[in-house]
Every structure is written in structure tokens, then in C-alpha cells.
Structure 1
């Protein structure tokens, strides 16, 4: 006689129920950005990065922020409508974990899309317009989006495998902590301002000197593409990626995949 499975499979859920969570998370990601960064901290407005006299008026900037929130309200409204249509599914086994997981994925994807599209491709704004190195803060926001998306994915994976909600939540919190704290841990200790920059083979020394000068640094030593550069403002070391470096030891991110097009 076959033994029954002690871990019942999660109830099947419609794509509409899943998309309700994705859309609600995406909309709340936009609300988080707009309320905290636009209004409370006032680090930027939606169109702060556009150099146009017609956009310099604060009333125009606030209007753009309001229209942005209106779009987020529309996205949230669609998500709520989908959730209402599938309300009977919410009583199923694992529905709460599934909805929470899809919500986190949507929330994290908003920050990824915002960083790639609005910060780097369209150049509408940066996280901190008043920063000497806005790329640093854009990268922090991008890492935050990756971490939250990964946390949601872990919860969804646990739901598919019939795992417990507490274990999935603990794993998700740990993933967020590791993915956010990990890049910060790559920064050199306080009081150390030197970084190791790797440039492509054949890079002329003059190019490296110019790159160091662009971040207010100075070259200490180097050969065969590996250079030791003193950068008093450690956060500005990320700017070496914009000047052609493919790796900057001790900076926030060890790859220069976004260096092209960020100058």
C-alpha cells in the first residue's frame, strides 16, 4: 500500500492571481520611490536629470511626480481588480506565501527597471542628484532591487516545493541581508583610500592617468593593466568604470558591465 505524502502539494493558482501580486508589488515599489525619495528625502524628482529650462520650474517637476503616481495608482488598481476576481483562490493552501512572494518580486523588479531604464538609459534622474558620484547611489538602488527580487523568488520556490512559510521568510530575510551587506563589505576599511584598478590590455598610461584624475585620484604604481590608484573619496572609485576599468578592487561592484554608456 502506497504511503500518503505528508506534505500536500500547494493548490494550483491562476495566472491572474499571480499577476495580482506582481502588479501590486510593482506599484508599491513606485510609491516607495515617489513618497520616500521624491517627497520626504527630496533626493530627486522624476525629471531632475533632464537639462531643459522648461523643466527647471519646481511646479513642472511636481506635476511630473504627480503624473507618475497616477500611473502607479492605475497599476495598483489593475492589481486589486485581479485580486478581487481571484478572491476565492486566497483561501487555498499556500496562497498567502504565493501572494507575498509575487509582491516582493514585483517590488524588486520596479527598482531594477527604474535603475536600468530611468537612471542609465533615459537619464531622467539619479537616486541622489546632489551627490558628487550619483552612480554609487544608483548601484545601491539596483542592488536593493536584486535583493528583494531574490527574496520573493525564494518564497515562490518554497511555495512550489510545499515548504513552510517561516522557513521561506527566514531564508528571504537572510538573502536580503547578504545581498545588501555583501557589496558594502567590499569597500576598503576606513582610512584606506587606495584601490586596484584593472584596465584592458594595451590601455595607454595616459588614459589611466586621465581616469584617475577624473575621480580626483592619483596613480601610485602600475604595469600590464593593473594600477594602484589613490582615491581619497572611496565612493568616487566607481567612476573608474566609466573611464574604461573592467575591475576596481574595493569598490562597490567588481564588474564594469554598466560602464559603457554611463559617461
Structure 2
């Protein structure tokens, strides 16, 4: 069985972090990177925490692009599947570590925060399963599992 492409996985980790940071931190304003540890009224600290998080996501995206650049092009399903898997892994790691173990923040603070945190983890599992299935769906002309690399 073919594994998920590492470069696509790393790219997906960064993109997943950007989606989380842009949508949940900035557009919805449900939490900031450090809102579980520090008061939300310290706007500068919240911006610095989110900025460092986005810088880390940017480094992951750049690393994924560099890894992709060192190899032949991937089939769309392999690239997209790897990215979905990476996004799901991001959700699972961030959800378990930041939300549950460290308490850095919750998806949405308040009475229903556990429901939001669990939903975030469920979305992560769905993304991983969908990504792995998509990555493995590539077949060569003879019906065997393909490499996922576009022939030249």
C-alpha cells in the first residue's frame, strides 16, 4: 500500500495551521494562540502569539514546497490527499496538545468548549481518513497501486 507523500503532508500541516489561524483566530475571533493562559484584553500579547503561530505555519508551507520542488510532480489526488492528511494531523496534534494537555486555548471558550474541542478532533480524523483514501486511490494503467508521480 502506498503511503501519504511526505512533502504533501508537510504542506498540509502548514495550510491546516493557516486555516485555523485565519478562520478561528482572526475571522471568527473565537480564540487566540495564548488565550487560555493570558487575559484576552492583552491585545499585543495575543497578536504576538498568533503571529508566532503563523510564522511557524509559513515555515511548514515553505518546507513542504521545498520538498515538492526536489521531486517529480505528483498526481493531483496524491498532492491533495497528502495535504488533507496533513491538515487532519494538524487538527489532531493541535487539538490534543494545545486544547487538552497544555490548555493554551479552546476552539471556542465558554460553556460548550468541550463540544467544540471534540468536534475539532473529529474533523481532524475525517480529514486524515479522506486524505489517506484519496492518496491511495491513484492506480497505474495495469490496476496496481501507482507511485503518485506524474510520468514525464
* TM-score, normalised by the number of residues in structure 1: 0.50
Q: What is the count of residue pairs matched by the alignment?
A: 141
1:90 to 66, 70, 73: 73
Aligned-pair CA distance for 1:157:
2.4
User: Hey, what does 2:149 align to over in structure 1?
Assistant: none
Alignment of 1:29-108 (within 5 A): 29-50=16-37, 52=38, 56-86=41-71, 89-90=72-73, 95-108=75-88
* Partners of 1:128 and 1:147 in 2: CA distance: 20
Q: Which residue of 1 aligns with 2:150?
A: none
Q: Deviation per CA, 1:79-138, whole angstroms, max 9, x where unpaired?
A: 11111111xx216xxx22211111110011101111100000010000001x21210000
Equivalent position of 1:146 in the other structure: 125
Contact in 1 for aligned 2:81/2:135 (Cα 8 Å) = yes
Deviation for aligned residue 1:56 = 4.8
Query: What corresponds to 2:97 in structure 1?
Result: 117
Which SS does the other structure have where 1:127 is aligned?
Answer: coil
Higher strand share: 1
**Residue 156 (structure 1) shift:** 2.1
- TM-fit CA distance, 1:36: 0.3
Maintained 8 Å contact 2:14/2:57: yes
Q: Does 1:134 align with 2:113?
A: yes
- Of Structure 1 and Structure 2, the greater helix share is in 2
Structure number, greater radius of gyration: 1
Unaligned runs of 5+ in 1: 1-11, 164-263
Query: Equivalents in 2 of 1:24, 1:48: separation in Å?
Result: 26
CA shift for structure 1 position 29:
0.4
Identify which of structures 1 and 2 has the higher relative contact order when contacts are C-alpha pairs closer than 8 Å and 6+ apart: 2
1:183 match: none
Unaligned runs of 5+ in 2: 147-152
**C-alpha displacement at 1:162, in angstroms?**
4.2
Deviation of 1:159 (Å): 2.2
**CA RMSD of the aligned region, Å?**
2.2
Q: Which stretches of structure 1, 4 residues or more, deviate above 2 A after TM superposition?
A: 159-163
Contact persistence 2:78–2:136 (CA under 8 A): no
